[in-house]
Structure formats: structure tokens, C-alpha cells
Structure 1
Amino acid sequence: MVLSKKFLIGFLSLILFLALVGCKNDSASTDEKDNDGATSENDTSPFTFTYFNAGSPGKDIDSNKTKIGKIFEEQTGTNVKMEFLVGDINTKIGTMIASGQYPDVLNPDIAIDKVLEAEAFIPLNELIDEHAPNLKKLYEPYLDRMKAEDGNIYFIPFGASQGHLPNPNIDQGAFFIQRGVLKEFGYPKIKTLDQYFELIEQYQAKYPEVDGASTIGFTALTYDWRFFSTTNTPAHLAGYPNDGEVIVDMETHEAKVYGNSEYTKRWLEKLNDANTKGLFDKEAFVANYDEYLAKLTSGRVLGFFDYGWQISQAENALKEAGDEDKRYMPLPIVFDENIKDQYIEPPSFVNNRGIGITVSAKDPVRIMKFLDNMAKEENQKLIMWGIEGETFVNDNGRYIRTDEQIATTSNQEFREEFGFQQFEWYWPRGNGLFSDGNAWEPRRQPEVAQASYTDGDKEILAKYEAEVFADLFSDPDDRPWYPAWSAELEQGSPAQIYIQKKTDLQRKYFPKLVLEANFEAIWEEYLNEYNKLDVKEYEKTLTEIVKQRIEDNK
């Protein structure tokens, strides 16, 4: 039988097609399963994993019920059942550990050490290497610092700096002063601690009451773990950023504690003097966090030191009330005129919190691919900025928000429906600047900050010849180890025990040093007790960590 040329060509084409289909199916079956039977990065079939977030309150929700989550589901086939903390964090995490049953993904927040000790997180090294090129690129400068002593990465921290851009509105440390105080005296330029308290003293003498209640010259936040807002202050006054318990020498890179230094003595002595003059809030050492915020909101407090992120609730309430004179102005106060302030943080990487995949996870590969998809720059922009034309405008390459968009994206109900509330934090994410020069976070985009300023904001900034509040502060010096406080200290180690004993000691002595008359005698007693602690071992440990980070950054 003789076959036609056309038939032969058709027959051979069919054989080739079937062969290609077979190869494709073999390839797909190989690609879609790893050696353990878990699905791979190419699988976009419906998949759901659970995520417990102990870092913030929230409403339990399926991520695909939000706009951002729905987009991620369309991209990856993955939905996330999100559960948030209710009640005590240690009780909740302790119950998980006792039962050995965990969500697929966990952010244990301050209880992370307990989770690591329980070996509840799986190593992520191979998952990142094999399935997460975007996440690896985002965290590339910090991968070595993410490793535990055994060389494994067990969790992904919340933020990898990509260049530096300070918050225009100061979310870090500052001495805050009521704007009405500055207005009363013609908007003076004050730099030193003495000048700051002199101004408050003069104003309180003129206005001893506010709405029938006594004016509070200066208060302090001392409640629970937030006590650092009072203990950190001496380092800032001396011209250093928040490195926690230590000041790091810029030349030798030696880390030295300052809790027993002249800086701390000078700070407490000033508070003691303020108390003697009736300027200090005598309830400061017994008030809880809510009571502290309520005082700031009342308009009675003239000044305080704190970190902007801790007082945002009070700031927002004062802004909504509309009395510009009762709102606060952040100032870079230091001990002496010749000190350069360092309140604005340099680029940093904090590695003591993060999100991990647990031993209970059914498909770590699909989870890692979901995290990797989030790490793409276009999806980081989605998480932070939203959708062009809806939540921001692209003005010749610069991202801005209209007044309406600012109002909308600030609305809690909208934030929850869109997914900003669920995705902005406690997931893999960057900080700083995108590759096109726009701020990673809208709040750090100067144009967005300025668009939200009230007439009062604009007026007081003009008085100090500034466009945004960060203009009042010095640029940060380069500190590749920053922040030293993020160092992971082994539980039960001499360095960790030092921290606990030092905190207990300061809780005991700081109220006495501020509120009692015999300051010098109490200081000597405090100093004697402080120097009994294992200071040298702690300094040695922190110095080694600082120098290692410098080496890793080269």
C-alpha cells in the first residue's frame, strides 16, 4: 500500500503532537509535586492555609474576602484563613506548644522565643532557595543575619530596608511639646534639655490650669514593657539613636551600657528637679498605657518624651478635636548645644520578630510560594499603595493621594475590606524606597504627608522654616549594626539575665530618683546595685554582635 505524502506528513505531525503532550504531562506531574508529595510553585489549584497573628488585634477573616487577598488568590490559587489574638498572648502560645498543634503559619510576636525553643518552626533555607526568588531578592542583604546559631532560618522578619527615607511626621523618638507653648513665646528655637524645661516652666506658671484641671508640665510613659520610653531617653539626649541598652562608639564600635552613666544621672536629675518645681506628673510611675494616652489627649500635658508610633492614637484624637494649640510638636532635644541629634533612625533590620511556617503545615512549598508572590515589587506596591486610580494617583512617576483618597485609606472599615489592615504588616515586606524612587510606605512619601497637613501644621512648620517635621531633625549617621537591641540573646545566658535584672533594678529605683528629695544618696545606692550586675559580659556580647554585623555588611 502506498501512502500519500500528505498522509505521511499528517501522521508524523500527530505522533509529534502526542509526544509533546506526553512530555508536557510528565513535566507537569514532576513540577507539581516535590519529593515529599507537596505541590510545587506551578500549582495554582485551590489551596488554603491557616495563619495566626499574635502581633495585633483584628477580625478573623479569609483573605479572599478582601480585595488584596482576592487578587493574591487569583495569582496563586491560595486563600489564607487569618486568625488574630484574643486574650493573653503567652496563654495562647503556651496552649499551642503544650498540644503540639499549630496553625500552618504563625507570628508569635513577643512569644517567639518560646516557639523557637519548642522547635515549632521548620527551617526555611531550602524553601527560600528553591521556591522563593523574589523573597530572596528582597531579603538578600540580611539572609545571614536571619540565620540562627545552627545556620537555619526559622522565620521571616517584617521589613527589609531598601534605601533610606525618614517618616516626614516622626514616628520614632522625640521630645514633644504642646504647640500652644511654642506659640505663647513666639516660636523659639530650642535645642537643649534645659531650654525645653525652662519654656514649660514659664508656660505652666502663666497657665496653671486647663479647663479647670491642673496643667501637667511633663509626664512619662513607664508602663509594662513600654518602660523603655523612659530608660532610653539619656542616650537620645547624648546624641545617639535607639540602640537599646547600649551606646556604640562610632570609631571603636565598642558597646557600652549607659544605665549607670552620667547621661542617665543627668536625665533623672532633671526630672527630679522638675518634680521639685511641680512640673512632673506624680502619677507617671503608676499610670497604665491607656491612662497615659488619655492624659495626652486631655490637653493638660505640656511635654513628654516618647516614640511617635506609641502616641499616634492620642495625636489622631487631638487632630480630630481641631484645637491646634493642644497638639504636639516633635523636637530633637539634646543635652548640650554642640551635640548632633540622632533621633531619626538609619536604615535598619530588626530580626527578633517574624513569621514562620510551623511543623503542622501541610504544604510548606505552596505557603512559601504564596509568600514569594507577596515579595514581588508590584505586589508590595499593591499591599502598601493599593490600586492606581482607586487608592493612589501616578503623577508623572510620583505616587500621590488626593484628599479623598487620604480620607478613604484612613477609614478603618475601608482598610479592612480592601486588605490594607490585614497585609500591611506581619508579612514579608520591605521598607525605604522602591526601584522607581517612590516611598515603600505612603506615609513616608513627602507629597502624601504634606497633603494631609492641617492649616495648623503648615503654619507651625513655616515658623520653623520646614516643609515636613523631619526637616527639624539631623540626618542619621551610617550604623550598619543598627539597632543593637534586636540582638538575639539566648534565654538564661548572662546577657539575657543582665537585661532582666537591670530592668527590675530600674523599676525599683527610677521612681525614687525622680520623686524623692535625697537624689545623690539614692543615686549612689542605685549605682552600687547596678554595678553588681554582669555589665562586662553584656557589653562583651553586644560588642561582638555589633562587630559581626559590620563585618557581614561589608
Structure 2
Amino acid sequence: MKKLKLVTMGTLLALSLSACSSSNSADPATSKTPSSPSGTTAAKEEMKPATFSYFLFNAGKNMNTNETPIGKELEKQTGVNFKVENLVGESKTKSGVMIAGNEFPDVVQPEGEIDKFMDAGAFIPLDELIEKYGPNIKRVYGPYFDKMKQKDGKIYHLPFSANQGFAANPNVDQGAFWIQRGVLKELGYPKLTTLDEYFNAIKTYKDKHPQVDGKDTIGFSVMTYDTNFFTITNPAFHLAGYPNDGGLLIDLKTNEAKSNAIDEATTKRWVKKLNEVNTAGLFDKESFTMNKDQYLAKLTSGRVLGYFAYDWQVGDARNNLAKAGVDDKRYVALPIVFDKGVKDQYLDPPSFVNNRGISISKSAKDPVRIIKFFDTMLTEDNQILQQWGIKGQTYEVDDKGKFFRTDEEIAKIKDPKFYEDFGLKMFAYNWPRYGNFSIVKGDNAFDPNKQPSVAEKNYTDGDRALLKAYNAKVFTDMFSKPDARPWYPAWSINKGQGTPEQIFEQKMGDLQKKAYPEMILASGTDKFEKAWSDYVAQASKLDIKGYEAFVTKIVKDRVAGNWAK
């Protein structure tokens, strides 16, 4: 049957290059979009307006890409618009509904639900499409193809981390312990290194300032909503001097992986400290119940003195605080560790994340047109468009070819509404793209925030005063340089739906969501120890050793150059 379909396709193409497919087949070979349009009719057909659906498993504003200047420019080049829909509610529920109905948007960014979609056969392989229609995709992703292939040897999604060169980041954009700048200022800019020092500073300030605008000051808050529970479990390994390998302590010399789920030196020490912090009235009990919007509103209110988060989780709050111009209520990231002498590893080493990306579903109306759009996005000029915007409106170029932004342009970018309406938020991530650390047009940072001239112009007088107090030129100067980890990050290892490893992670995660509130909110040392013992007893029933052996093997394979898993 498939041979007959292909023969028919060839006949149709010979008869009419302008034929349009109505098939939803997952086989890209059945698409009737011309592969190499020639002549006026074919060219017009190629540019005929088309709108595709794109669902993202993260929060955001639903809108059409062509409602933004950046999206309009891409539509001008391709004729393509995307109707973008973002997640409302819980990701597991939404993915379950999609999979049960066996109908999908044209394009999906599945985030942490990727294994479910893969096991359901929701996505089509991209290899043939890339080979036929993706010269820019091959240029950008080609060096990473071996790392992108699934167990069947095929590629099903385009990740968001294909670095083209390396530009260091002057600002902290990953996980850290953040503290309100007014706390440091009032205390004379002390150098806070350890967890005890961090919470002592917060307590000292909170005792002096118990309320903000008539509401109680909050010492420390964490967002755990939906898929964000890792925000309260991850600090345990960061405090011990490990990067974010997804709840794993991986030895740099032996490459052996150890779960820190019930590790007393990391996890118990961390949750015990939070229990003490809660007893002292510093912990935000709503950390386990509030949603993301409520959390960001708290940060923006100025009531929260400290929090742990990855910067990408709190960007809206950060931008709103910067726009408000109240520098003392803004936050600064600190490389907090358990003990002095521990080398912090909050800054990510160069990495390739192969289990996140954008996929074309088997329901897609025209996979060829979509892959051509993705390929167009990956020209260097369009990558600049998506990150920097439009020359003369959101950035300039000096006589040496260096990109920069004027004060007026920086002010516009800082306005969350302009940032979103222009398309800079829409296209900052979640599309085929260079990696965050890439370089474009000679020696310019792909990410404007990594361009030194932009970073320095963005600094307020408060920024400069704070940096001067800590003898730093940029904020990452306050952190240790990352150690090279050729497997990094281990959290990107695909486990596969229903595998022992995926079930282990699911069960451990479910257990932690129940046990962490019980341990942290327990009243008194005895009740904490009882809650910890109960947690360890339950966790020990899971196959921790088997999980560690599985990860260790993959880590060692990656070090040896095999990224198939």
C-alpha cells in the first residue's frame, strides 16, 4: 500500500506542482507540497498564507505569531503563521487528554511530557524532511544529530541548545539563592557564603522590618506548583557543590551517579534547615499551595526577602521589579553552599539538552511547509531577528559591526508589554534556535543579555553599587566557573514511559510531594525526625540502586561519545 501511495504521489507531482495535500499521514513522503518550487504558480503556492497550531506545555499568552512585528516578518518570508496556545492547568492532565483523543496540534513543545508523546507515537520522524528541506537545520544541528537520535535511530524533535560558539553570560540565568538587595544594603553588603549566613541575614532584616505596606514580611519562599517541585528538592545538591544533574550526585572522576533523594549529607540537611527556618517563622507555608501567578505576585510585592529559583522561572517578576525602579526591592543571586570551602557549581557548563524541543505531530496538515518554516527561522539573520529584534527599533550596529542598544531601546525592552507585543518573548525560546551561548555575525552574542555593552547599559546605579561592594564587574563574577562535565545534564536522559527508571522517578516525585511538606512543617525536632524516617522507609522500597546503575551507564556512555539514550 505504501509503494502505491508513493507512486501515486510521484504521478501527482508530475501532473501538478501546485497540488495541495489534505492528508494527515505521519509519513512526510505523502505531503503534496512541492519540494523545489519553480515558476510563478509554484512560487505563489509556496507563499500561500497558512496558519498552523502550536501547543506549548508552559505558561504564556495565547496569540498568533503574526500579531507581532517579528512574526509578521517571518510570515512575510514564508507565508506561515502559528496560532500559539499555552498550557492552562496541569501538564499531565492536558497530555493525557491529547493522547487519549489521538488528535494533536500541528506542532508541540511537550516539555516534561515528551516521553508520553513519544510512546504514544504522536510525533513524526524528521530525518527525511530535514534531508530534503532543511539546509539550515543541518548547518545548525548537524554536529548534534547523533545526540538527537532516539532509540530507533531517528530524530523526532529539534532541541533549543545547539550552540554556535560560546559567549559567557554576565548575568545569572540559572538556579541560585536570591536575596532582596535592601537586605544586603542595610547590613553593609556582607559576603554571604553559607546557608546559615544567608538565613541569619534574612532573620536580622525581618526582625527590623516585620511588615511591608501593612502585610507580613516573608522570609523565604519557593514555588513548587505543578511541574516545579524540583525547585524545593534541587537546592540540596547545589548546596553541596553540584550542578543541576536532576537529583543526582555524579563523581567527576569515576562518573558514578548517586541519587540524593535520601542522602543525609545533602537532602536531610537541607529539609532539616527548612524545618528550622519554618519554626523561626521565616518559611512561607504557601510555598506548597500557591500557583505560579500568586508566587510571582509575591515576589513583585516586595514582601519576600529570599527565595530559591531558576531565573527563567521568575522572569516576569524580575522585569516588573526593574520597571518599577525600586532597586532595594529587586533581588540578587548568591552562590550559597552548606560550608565554607565548598566550590559552588550553580553556573551551567556548556551542555546539550536532547530531551526538550519542538516536534511536528502526526496530525500536522503540512509537515513539509512546517519544516521549511523552521529552516527559514535558522538563517543567521532570522536568529538575530528573533533575539535582537529589528535594527533601528530594538538594536543598532556600530561601525565595527558590534550590536548594541540605545538607552531608549533598553527602556522599551524592559517594558513587559512591549517585550511581549513585539514578539521578543514569543521567540526568545521554544523554537528551532541557536543555543543560548552562541555567537552571531562575527563576535556578537546571540543572546542580547550576554552582550557586554547591553549588560552594562542595563545596570542601574544600584547594580553598579552592589557590584562594586562585592568587587565584581558582572554578576557571574560572584560565582565559581563551572567544571567541565561531558555528560551534562543528566536530567536530559530519556527514560521512556513505563520503564523502571521513569516509574522510579514518578514514584519518588509523588512521595517527595507528600513528604516534604510534612518534614518542613513538622513542629519540633522529634516530629521532624519521625517524618524523615517515614520518608526514608518509603523511599527505600523503591529501586534506588537500580536507578543509579542505569544513570551511571548512560553517563559513562555519554562521556564515551554515545548519546543515543
TM beyond 0.5:
yes
- Residues in 1 aligned to 2:521 and 2:96: alpha-carbon distance in whole angstroms: 39
Aligned residue identity for 2:280: K
Match status 1:522 vs 2:528:
no
Aligned-pair distance for 1:35?
A: 7.2
Match status 1:408 vs 2:412:
yes
Aligned-pair distance for 1:190?
A: 1.6
Contact 2:62 2:86 in 1 (8 A): no
Contact 2:147 2:562 in 1 (8 A): no
Match status 1:328 vs 2:328:
no
CA shift in 2, pair 1:207/1:86, >3 Å: closer
Query: Which residue, out of 453, 468, 471, partners 2:474?
Result: 468
State the partner residue of 1:550: 559
- Residues in 2 aligned to 1:247 and 1:167: alpha-carbon distance in whole angstroms: 25
- Residues in 1 aligned to 2:337 and 2:358: alpha-carbon distance in whole angstroms: 37
Contact 1:53 1:426 in 2 (8 A): no
Match status 1:256 vs 2:261:
no
CA shift in 2, pair 1:67/1:185, >3 Å: closer
State the partner residue of 1:420: 424
CA shift in 2, pair 1:338/1:358, >3 Å: same
Aligned-pair distance for 1:417?
A: 5.3
Match status 1:370 vs 2:373:
yes
- Residues in 2 aligned to 1:452 and 1:312: alpha-carbon distance in whole angstroms: 15
State the partner residue of 1:430: 434
TM-score (structure 2 length as normaliser): 0.86
State the partner residue of 2:550: 541
State the partner residue of 1:314: 317
State the partner residue of 2:397: 394
Aligned residue identity for 1:151: G
Secondary structure at the counterpart of residue 423 of structure 1? coil
Aligned residue identity for 1:321: A
Aligned-pair distance for 1:115?
A: 2.8
TM-score (structure 1 length as normaliser): 0.87
Secondary structure at the counterpart of residue 306 of structure 1? strand
Aligned residue identity for 1:443: N
Aligned-pair distance for 1:500?
A: 1.4
Q: More displaced, 85-94 or 339-348?
A: 85-94
Q: Give the percent of matched residue pairs that are identical in Structure 1 and Structure 2.
A: 51
Offset from partner CA, 1:137-177 (integer Å, 9 cap, x none): 21123212211111111111223123444543322111111
State the partner residue of 2:146: 144
Offset from partner CA, 1:329-358 (integer Å, 9 cap, x none): 210001111111111111222223322223
Q: More displaced, 469-478 or 48-57?
A: 48-57
- Residues in 1 aligned to 2:433 and 2:298: alpha-carbon distance in whole angstroms: 35
Secondary structure at the counterpart of residue 184 of structure 2? helix
Aligned-pair distance for 1:413?
A: 5.1
Aligned residue identity for 1:437: D
Secondary structure at the counterpart of residue 273 of structure 1? helix
CA shift in 2, pair 1:521/1:415, >3 Å: closer
- Residues in 1 aligned to 2:99 and 2:231: alpha-carbon distance in whole angstroms: 32
Contact 1:240 1:247 in 2 (8 A): yes
- Residues in 1 aligned to 2:124 and 2:319: alpha-carbon distance in whole angstroms: 41
- Residues in 2 aligned to 1:452 and 1:540: alpha-carbon distance in whole angstroms: 46
Offset from partner CA, 1:39-68 (integer Å, 9 cap, x none): 11446432425132224433432x455433
CA shift in 2, pair 1:361/1:299, >3 Å: closer
State the partner residue of 1:39: 34
- Residues in 1 aligned to 2:274 and 2:163: alpha-carbon distance in whole angstroms: 36
- Residues in 2 aligned to 1:302 and 1:325: alpha-carbon distance in whole angstroms: 11
CA shift in 2, pair 1:221/1:98, >3 Å: closer
Aligned-pair distance for 1:419?
A: 3.5
State the partner residue of 1:7: none
CA shift in 2, pair 1:297/1:408, >3 Å: closer
State the partner residue of 1:478: 484
Contact 1:32 1:40 in 2 (8 A): no
- Residues in 2 aligned to 1:52 and 1:155: alpha-carbon distance in whole angstroms: 14
Contact 1:179 1:324 in 2 (8 A): yes
State the partner residue of 1:82: 83
Aligned-pair distance for 1:74?
A: 4.3
- Residues in 1 aligned to 2:29 and 2:233: alpha-carbon distance in whole angstroms: 52
Aligned-pair distance for 1:257?
A: 0.4
- Residues in 2 aligned to 1:341 and 1:356: alpha-carbon distance in whole angstroms: 35
CA shift in 2, pair 1:324/1:512, >3 Å: same
CA shift in 2, pair 1:163/1:300, >3 Å: same
CA shift in 2, pair 1:508/1:66, >3 Å: closer
Secondary structure at the counterpart of residue 229 of structure 2? helix
- Residues in 2 aligned to 1:414 and 1:235: alpha-carbon distance in whole angstroms: 38
Offset from partner CA, 1:102-144 (integer Å, 9 cap, x none): 4433334444333323323221112212321211121123212
- Residues in 1 aligned to 2:61 and 2:304: alpha-carbon distance in whole angstroms: 31
Contact 1:438 1:445 in 2 (8 A): yes
State the partner residue of 2:208: 206
Aligned residue identity for 1:357: I
Contact 1:384 1:442 in 2 (8 A): yes
State the partner residue of 1:10: none
Query: Which residue, out of 289, 294, 297, partners 1:291?
Result: 294
Contact 1:51 1:103 in 2 (8 A): yes
Secondary structure at the counterpart of residue 342 of structure 1? coil
CA shift in 2, pair 1:95/1:200, >3 Å: closer
State the partner residue of 2:349: 346
State the partner residue of 1:494: 500
- Residues in 1 aligned to 2:319 and 2:385: alpha-carbon distance in whole angstroms: 25
Secondary structure at the counterpart of residue 82 of structure 1? strand
Aligned residue identity for 2:390: I
Aligned-pair distance for 1:308?
A: 1.4
- Residues in 2 aligned to 1:360 and 1:201: alpha-carbon distance in whole angstroms: 55
Q: How many residues align?
A: 526
State the partner residue of 2:4: none
Q: Name the larger-Rg structure.
A: 1
Contact 1:446 1:468 in 2 (8 A): no
CA shift in 2, pair 1:362/1:522, >3 Å: closer
- Residues in 2 aligned to 1:290 and 1:74: alpha-carbon distance in whole angstroms: 35
Match status 1:508 vs 2:514:
yes
CA shift in 2, pair 1:121/1:340, >3 Å: same
- Residues in 2 aligned to 1:446 and 1:353: alpha-carbon distance in whole angstroms: 29
- Residues in 1 aligned to 2:554 and 2:117: alpha-carbon distance in whole angstroms: 23
Aligned-pair distance for 1:191?
A: 0.9
Contact 2:80 2:373 in 1 (8 A): no
Q: More displaced, 424-433 or 336-345?
A: 424-433
State the partner residue of 2:3: none
Offset from partner CA, 1:175-205 (integer Å, 9 cap, x none): 1112122112211112111221222222233
CA shift in 2, pair 1:230/1:66, >3 Å: closer
Contact 1:165 1:433 in 2 (8 A): yes
RMSD: 2.7
- Residues in 1 aligned to 2:512 and 2:29: alpha-carbon distance in whole angstroms: 55
Aligned residue identity for 2:457: A
- Residues in 1 aligned to 2:333 and 2:363: alpha-carbon distance in whole angstroms: 46
Listed as ranges, the matches of 1:148-187 within 5 Å are 148-187=150-189
